[in-house]
């Protein structure tokens, strides 16, 4: 009559993967993100399972999210930057090719679930040639669980609302960016 805990965990992880897939697909469409552009994602797996950020890092949850997100981004040619936690000063994990394209200098660190976070660790393990960098200027971002990704977005950030506003128990906040408006009353904007 009652499912085993293991079965419930499998169902929960499958639901997380599917929700992440749906959110990323909807976000790409809403933000008009293009191949070669960069999406930063900050994720608290603690918040996803309903705990306080930084208190219950869950590698299996991170892996389910990466399994839902990364194949879509790879297929569309969009780079992923995974924000590490405060213990690594919010460094970012990206593919070496992305660092070279944008001219970002790698730093020497490998994230772990309790120093960098489970999501950044899962992304590091999933990438072919992962590197950490200290700063980026991403074209768009997803914040899963209040991880504060704004410092890694280009100016000007524009909030986006999706039909999905949570992944698990974590709030989902989204932003795209646009160029700054400059000029005076005679300026014309497309």
Check residues 7 and 144 and name the one with the higher pLDDT: 144
In a domain, 20, yes or no: yes
In a domain, 183, yes or no: no
Query: What is the distance of C-alpha 135 from the center of its chain?
Result: 15
Residue 69 half-sphere exposure toward CB, CA atoms < 13 A: 32
In a domain, 182, yes or no: no
Domain interval for residue 113: 5-177
pLDDT, tens digit, 9 for 90 and up, residues 76-118: 999 999 999 988 899 999 999 999 999 999 999 999 998 999 9
In a domain, 185, yes or no: no
- Is the pLDDT confidence value at 153 over 50? yes
| SS3 state of residue 46 | helix
Q: Which two tokens stand for residue 55?
A: 């208190």
Nearest-Å Rg of the Cα atoms of the chain is 17
Cβ(84)–Cβ(111) below 8 Å = yes
In a domain, 188, yes or no: no
In a domain, 187, yes or no: no
CATH of the domain at 35: 3.40.50.10360
Q: Which two tokens stand for residue 34?
A: 């293009």
pLDDT, tens digit, 9 for 90 and up, residues 30-60: 999 999 999 999 999 999 999 988 788 899 9
Number of separate domains in the chain? 1
Question: What is the per-residue pLDDT for 19?
Answer: 98
Q: Is the pTM of this model over 0.85?
A: yes
Strand partners, 138: 153
In a domain, 79, yes or no: yes
pLDDT, tens digit, 9 for 90 and up, residues 125-146: 999 999 999 999 999 999 999 9
- Is the pLDDT confidence value at 7 over 60? no
In a domain, 168, yes or no: yes
pLDDT band at residue 3 using 50, 70 and 90 as cut-offs: very low
Question: What is the per-residue pLDDT for 48?
Answer: 96
pLDDT band at residue 2 using 50, 70 and 90 as cut-offs: very low
Phi then psi for residue 158, to 5 deg, are -125, 115
Question: What is the per-residue pLDDT for 8?
Answer: 61
Q: Are strands 106-107 and 166-167 parallel, antiparallel or unpaired?
A: unpaired
């Amino acid at each position: 009559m009652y499912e085993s805990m293991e079965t419930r965990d499998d169902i929960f992880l499958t639901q997380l993967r599917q929700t992440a897939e749906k959110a990323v697909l909807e976000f790409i469409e809403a933000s008009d993100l293009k191949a070669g552009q960069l999406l930063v994602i900050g994720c608290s797996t603690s918040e996803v399972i309903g705990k306080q950020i930084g208190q219950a890092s869950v590698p299996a949850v991170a892996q389910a999210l990466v399994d839902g997100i990364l194949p879509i981004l790879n297929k569309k040619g969009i780079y992923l930057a995974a924000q590490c936690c405060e213990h690594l000063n919010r460094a970012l994990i990206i593919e070496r090719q992305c660092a070279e394209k944008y001219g970002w200098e790698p730093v020497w660190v490998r994230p772990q679930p309790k120093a960098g976070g489970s999501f950044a660790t899962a992304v590091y393990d999933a990438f072919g040639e992962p590197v950490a960098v200290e700063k980026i200027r991403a074209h768009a971002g997803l914040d899963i669980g209040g991880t504060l990704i704004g410092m890694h977005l280009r100016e000007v950030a524009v909030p986006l609302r999706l039909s999905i506003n949570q992944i698990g128990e974590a709030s989902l906040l989204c932003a795209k960016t646009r160029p700054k408006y400059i000029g005076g009353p005679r300026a014309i904007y497309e």
